[in-house]
Structure 1
Amino acid sequence: MNTILIVCDTWRRDHSGAYGNDWIHTPNINRFAEKAAVFENAYLTSYPTLPCRRDILTGRYEFPWRGWGGLDPDDVTLPQVLGEAEKTSYFITDVYHHWGRDAGNYWRDFTGFSLVRGQERDGYITDTDVDFDRTCHRFPLQGPSVPHSRNAQWMRREERDWFSPQVFSQATRWLQHNADHEDFFLMIDSFDPHEPWDPPRYYTDLYGDPAFDGTEYPVAPYGSIEGKLTPEELRHVQALYAGEITMVDRWFGHFLDQIESLGLLDNTVIILTTDHGTHNGDRGRTGKNWVLMEEISHLPLLVWHPEYGHGTRPKQKAQALDYFPTACEAAGVEIPAGLHGKSLLPFLKDPTLADPR
């Protein structure tokens, strides 16, 4: 059986109808959740971006032994194990940390990979003739805003040019040409809805004041908001984030439609999740460089299996390092010894099963 793992970075659990939010527009995640198992107790393991990816790909805890960085030469990875069993794996991502000099090798063992360039600090375009007034609108040019805006000017003409649309469109094209692989593993790693939050304006206007003319903060100041954001600016930050999620939802929906049209729901496990959340005005803070409260650590996790788990809400603990053994079990590949993770499929078969952890 195939496995498709979708990681949407910095997606708060409470920003989805699947977890009780009645105001955010996530119709495609909602329709997926109606069919899938919705885990109630998924929590982060290692944190933030790259440590979580190492948990995913090795099935072992990164924290507290290792920090930010790439895979080590002796790390045994999920695509490596699947490859040794002659299974095809593919990696699609715009998370620029994967090819930065501080990491640079997370696609190492995949059969193939595709990198969507230009996200956040990615040094993709270096042209000097940039009209920052057009690309930045009203937000301050600082930190990742500079390279991000330079890239955006030359890349964006319509919605499909934003990053999550590019990522899911590439995934759709890959499925169209690779659906016949037996027991394939596809990992889609979308940096959105991570900052910078700058979706097309019509998404932001779903949640904020269309007449807002203050300073925009696609990267809100990390830490206390006291003295940094006015109430109007904070509401706009929240609207930017919600709009980013709704854009991701739309393009996830297009991808889900392709899965259905190719008949892959009948032989594919689909995992939709995130690495962590973020503060967005709650507890008087924005960002995620603080105590790991529920807004950051309690994660959305939706898992589809063709045969069981439909409409259930398992309460067993689930973590990123569980995806490795889950994909192995789905593909009929022996789960390597020494993993810290446990397959989630038994919890789909029996949501009342005792939690081994």
Structure 2
Amino acid sequence: MIVSDTVRTDMLGYNGGHVRTPNLDRLAAKSMVFDRYYASSFPTVPARYDYLTGKPAFAGVGWGALPRADRSIATALTEVGYTTLGVVDTPFYQVNGYSYDRGFNFFYDMKSQLLGTPHYSSYSAPNKTKRQGEGKLPQWPITGKVKPDPRTGEMDCPAPLTMVQAAKCLEQVYEDKFFALVDTWDPHEPWDPPAYYTRHYLPDYAGERVHPPYGDCKKHGMTDRDIAVARALYSGELELVDRWIGHLLDQLAYLGIEDSTAIIFVSDHGFLLGEHGLMGKMVRRAPGEATWMRSPLYEEIAKVPLLIHVPGAKPGRTSKLACALDLAPTICDMAGLPRQPEMQGHSLLPGVLGQPFEGRDHVLTALPLANPGDTVEVVDDLMRTVVEWQPVTITTQKWSLLYAIPGEPVELYDLSSDPKQTINVAEKHPAVIRALLEMYAEDLRRAGVTNKYSDPRLAALLEHAS
């Protein structure tokens, strides 16, 4: 299972995107491609809770430690004799006792991601750029280093380090019955690929850095050049990730297990790179400010890539709806394990094997539920205050509804005719909105959401029922 954070599915080569992704294209050509796969809990840590447990983190766990009462797929697989291996550079598996390494026989936390970069935090407007290499780069604090070893080339970047380590680890376990989770935080920002990658997408790239302001591009002073640089940096980082995923995939062939190893490639969420006038995956009032404003989860964020390859299965594409909650039961099904009763997802293996497969009638994508005034850990593990009601996204084959509470802005899009979500048709379809809110209400009930969070969100439905 290969996880790459913050991947825009529409930019991948096999989806007609502009980024060079030959290795993922090669994997897609022999996989079942899920064209309508969506995030469930958002963002980083909640998504990984969903992957590993099959339960929605948005309902109460949120951004925090894996609860002791929860069994992950790693635990389940270890207990039945699998050798379980994790190799990650996403920096939240072990920090602050999060315990997302629980259940693995072997776990490598690469600690190679760089955060707190002064030349990102020392200015507020993204068009105040600095040249590549300026400033000191403090290391992620869990490493214990004051500052990192300097990067001397591509092999010092996190994704290559992680994929090479994973390939080395496979040499030790490839003769076992194994489950390997390989998780890189790239192409998550800060975007700092080698310049030769960036110039594939912006030939006159001159070493600028643009840090996403997490908000309205114009309001935060972004120029057209800033947006072009941001998109090129992101694209270069994504190409870098693809190159080194290819290294890991090649290792399966060298070890002689390519024809006996199932492969899952997935991301947790996407990112807005100027679409809808926004840059980032959430909205804050000002760069660096510890507040979260209304943050719509549009298709560019909610819809993400999923490839599942099972040796011997016929490749193809499906437009059936699926979501992150479906991965844990799918992996259990692959391993011949019974689905754990608390899982709220559905196995996708029948669809991969060409058997009857209905897919979901809808997907709910949501931040961990919080009310204005709540102080929460979201997006990183720093506390921030929720200032405005956060909309959830309810997606069906035809519709996408962005809804928070009665009285707040409602957005409804017909994805069949308006996949870019440019025309809000909410006023024309009250019956559609009500039907989608009924689905939302059932999701909250099934997940056991407390009244503090469910009542204000479902007030209109509750009032009608009474």
Give the TM-score, by structure 2 length.
Answer: 0.67
Change (3 A) 1:318 1:94: same
Query: Which aligned pairs between 1:13-32 and structure 2 lie closer than 5 A?
Result: 13-21=9-17, 23-32=18-27
Pair 1:349–1:151, CA change in 2 (3 A): farther
Query: Rg larger in 1 or in 2?
Result: 2
1: distance between equivalents of 2:234 and 2:73? Answer: 32
TM alignment of 1:295-310, pairs within 5 A: 295-310=300-315
User: Following the alignment from structure 2 to structure 1, what is the Cα–Cα distance between the partners of residues 205 and 189?
Assistant: 23
CA contact (8 A) 1:118 1:152 kept: no
Match in the other structure for 1:273: 266
Tell me which residue corresponds to 1:37: 32
For residue 131 of structure 1, what is the aligned residue in structure 2?
A: none
SS at match of 2:334: helix
Normalised to the residue count of structure 1, the TM-score between the two structures is 0.87
1:115-161 alpha-carbon deviations (Å, 9 max, x no partner)? 111313389xxxxxxxxxxxx7358969xx6547x988624122111
State the match for 2:185 in structure 1. 191
Report 1:140-155 matches (<5 A). 146-147=138-139, 154-155=149-150
Aligned to 1:67, the other structure's residue is in SS state coil
Structure 1, unaligned runs of 5 or more: 124-135
Paired amino acid for 2:268: D
Q: Secondary structure at the match of 1:40?
A: strand
SS in 1 for 2:108: strand
Aligned residues between the structures: 333
Aligned to 2:107: 113
Q: How much does 1:237 deviate? A: 0.8
Unpaired runs of 5+ residues, structure 2, are: 118-129, 283-294, 362-466
Counterpart secondary structure, 1:168:
helix
Conservation of the 8 A alpha-carbon contact between 1:96 and 1:122:
no
Q: What amino acid does structure 2 have at the position aligned with 1:255?
A: L
The answer to whether the Cα contact below 8 Å between 1:159 and 1:165 also exists between their aligned partners in 2 is yes
Equivalents in 2 of 1:202, 1:231: separation in Å? 21
For residues 109 and 77 of structure 1, do their structure 2 counterparts lie closer, same or farther at Cα, with a shift above 3 Å needed?
same
Q: Does 1:314 align with 2:318?
A: yes
Matched residues in 2 for 1:356 and 1:8: separation? 24
Aligned counterpart in structure 2 of residue 167 of structure 1, from 139, 162, 167 = 162
Deviation at 1:97, TM superposition (A): 1.6
Kindly indicate whether residue 217 of structure 2 is the aligned counterpart of residue 225 of structure 1. Answer: yes
Residues 285-328 of structure 1, C-alpha deviations (whole Å, 9 max, x = no match): 11000200000001111110102131x11222222222212222
Q: What is the DSSP-based 3-state SS (H/G/I as helix, E as strand, rest coil) of the residue aligned with 2:41?
A: coil
Alpha-carbon distance between aligned partners in 2 of 1:331 and 1:351, rounded to the nearest angstrom: 18
Match of 2:252 in 1: 259
Indicate the structure whose relative CO is greater, using CA pairs within 8 Å and at least 6 residues apart.
1
After superposition, give the CA deviation of every residue in 1:13-55 in whole Å (9 maximum; x if it has no partner): 111012121x211111111111111101100000100001111
Tell me the distance in 2 between the aligned counterparts of 1:239 and 1:315: 29
1:246 aligns to 2:246 (yes or no) = no
Task: Return the match for 1:75 from 70, 79, 104.
Answer: 70
Over the aligned positions, Cα root-mean-square deviation in angstroms equals 2.3
CA distance in structure 2 between the aligned counterparts of 1:241 and 1:12, rounded to whole angstroms? 10
SS of corresponding position for 2:263: strand
Is contact 1:279–1:286 with CA below 8 Å preserved after alignment?
Answer: yes
Using the alignment, how far apart are the partners of 2:360 and 2:203 within structure 1?
48
